[in-house]
Amino acid sequence: MSHGIVIIGSGFAARQLVKNIRKQDTNVPLTLIAADSMDEYNKPDLSHVISQNQCADDLTRQTAGEFAEQFNLRLFPHTWVTDIDASARVVKSKDQQWQYDKLVLATGASAFVPPVEGRELMLTLNSQQEYQACETRLRNAQRVMIVGGGLIGTELAMDFCRAGKAVTLVDHAASILSALMPAEVSSRLQHRLTEMGVHGLLKSQLQSLTETENGIRATLDRNRSVEVDVVIAATGLRPETALAQRAGADIHRGVKVDSYLQTSQPDIYALGDCAEINGQVLPFLQPIQISAMYLAKNLLGVNAPLKLPAMLVKVKTPELPLHLAGETQRQNLNWHIAIEPQGMVAKGIDGDGQLRAFVVSEDRMKEAFALLKSLPV
Ligand SMILES: Cc1cc2nc3c(=O)[nH]c(=O)nc-3n(C[C@H](O)[C@H](O)[C@H](O)COP(=O)(O)OP(=O)(O)OC[C@H]3O[C@@H](n4cnc5c(N)ncnc54)[C@H](O)[C@@H]3O)c2cc1C
């Protein structure tokens, strides 16, 4: 008897995979199990919920029932998978189990919360569910502290500021987006945030959080403290690797997979934020979308090694959106930055004169597409 393909997760990775499988095979049994409601929403839109005066619920695009009907699926929402027995090919929850022929882990990543005293007072906004759980507090808050000036922290800082809140952005680095680009390249955006009223506390370490009568007191290094109403952790993601570990698959930063998206265990694959593809964790929609196309083929018996092209990532800060591509974090790049009235183009060139990375402001998108073609794949 065919048990078909079992997918754990219902996020972007799982859904892209389902769509690609169904384009090629309308019959193979597909079972999805996920801890959430399985309603579809666009996760990147969480960066704009507050300023758009929306609720996290408004982001729902398709209910689980419609999804199951459209793609002929067996769905198990609100179900936490606790174990995988790879030798018996069984997935287990507290009170159910499912047999599989092929298993796909699409378990995503969870927000990392820095291990400071009072860490339980920090909110995380890494899913519709997490946003829903605290949106009344977010809406009522006047003073918001965001810990972490990376992609998500910067987007949230601008969003809360546009919604009229007093925002403090804390980061231990000397500039925002420090893991993605050098300070000279992010400085225009940093300046724009300051102009808008975001209070940047850079080169600063959060040390503890304590509840006060009127909010939360955040203590920082150098004997500084700030009182706010809410504190949001935007300090990075940790791929969900626990189930892969239970299944005996190799893990490193994420669940290790090869070019076929296969883990070290036979017939177990990983896709999306949980996966580490040939050493790279790529928690963005475009690589997930392309990987899902290849994985669908592999699951259906066509051997198709993944090839990822150079891809753009957008910093969705509406007052000054940026697009970046390539190895922006690569050391020893020579950055050539051209700032003109019509926007910025920053090119990261290596010692051999090869373009390795670039960052452009939205008004220079035409150039971005041309530069993308010059990046080595
Ligand atoms: C605020 C924000 C803004 C973003 N903006 C952008 C952007 O502009 N551009 C871009 O490319 N990317 C962006 N991203 C990243 C992008 O949204 C993610 O890379 C993508 O959504 C990840 O999809 P996924 O399916 O891998 O994971 P998820 O959507 O996290 O799905 C994981 C699934 O696994 C389930 N699960 C996990 N463990 C278990 C278990 N043990 N049992 C059962 N179910 C389990 C969960 O319930 C969930 O259904 C953003 C992310 C955030 C948070």
ipTM over 0.95: yes
For 258-287, b/e burial (b = at least 16 CB within 10 A) is: ebbbbbebeebbbbbbbbbbeeebbbbbeb
152 lines ligand 1 (CB under 6 A): yes
* Ligand 1 centroid distance, CA of 227 (Å): 31
Strand partners, 348: 335, 357
Atom of ligand 1 nearest to the CA of 127: 53
Under the banding of pLDDT at 50, 70 and 90, the label for residue 354 is: very high
* Ligand 1 centroid distance, CA of 11 (Å): 6
Closest CA to 231 of 350, 357, 123, 79: 123
Instruction: Report how far apart the first and last C-alpha atoms of the chain are (Å, whole number).
Output: 43
Atom of ligand 1 nearest to the CA of 285: 11
β 268-270/143-147 pair status? unpaired
* Ligand 1 centroid distance, CA of 48 (Å): 16
- What tens digit of pLDDT does each residue of 246-275 get? 999 999 999 999 999 999 999 999 999 999
Q: Among 6, 235, 285, which is best to mutate for testing ligand 1, by the most ligand atoms less than 8 A from CB?
A: 285
The residues, ordered by sequence, that sit 6+ positions from 137 with a Cβ below 8 Å of its Cβ are 123, 229, 230
List of domains in the chain: 5-110+237-299 (3.50.50.60), 113-233 (3.50.50.60), 321-374 (3.30.390)
Q: Whose C-alpha lies nearest to ligand 1, atom 5?
A: 44
Closest CA to 60 of 34, 28, 38, 86: 38
List the structure tokens of 314.
Answer: 């957008």
91 lines ligand 1 (CB under 6 A): no
* Ligand 1 centroid distance, CA of 16 (Å): 12
Task: Tell me which H or E stretch contains 255.
Answer: strand 255-257
Q: What is the mean pLDDT of the chain?
A: 96
Closest CA to 278 of 290, 260, 295: 260
In the predicted model, is pLDDT for residue 100 greater than 80?
Answer: yes
* Ligand 1 centroid distance, CA of 311 (Å): 19
- What tens digit of pLDDT does each residue of 279-332 get? 999 999 999 999 999 999 999 999 999 999 999 999 999 999 999 999 998 888
CA dist 213 and 303 (Å) reads: 61
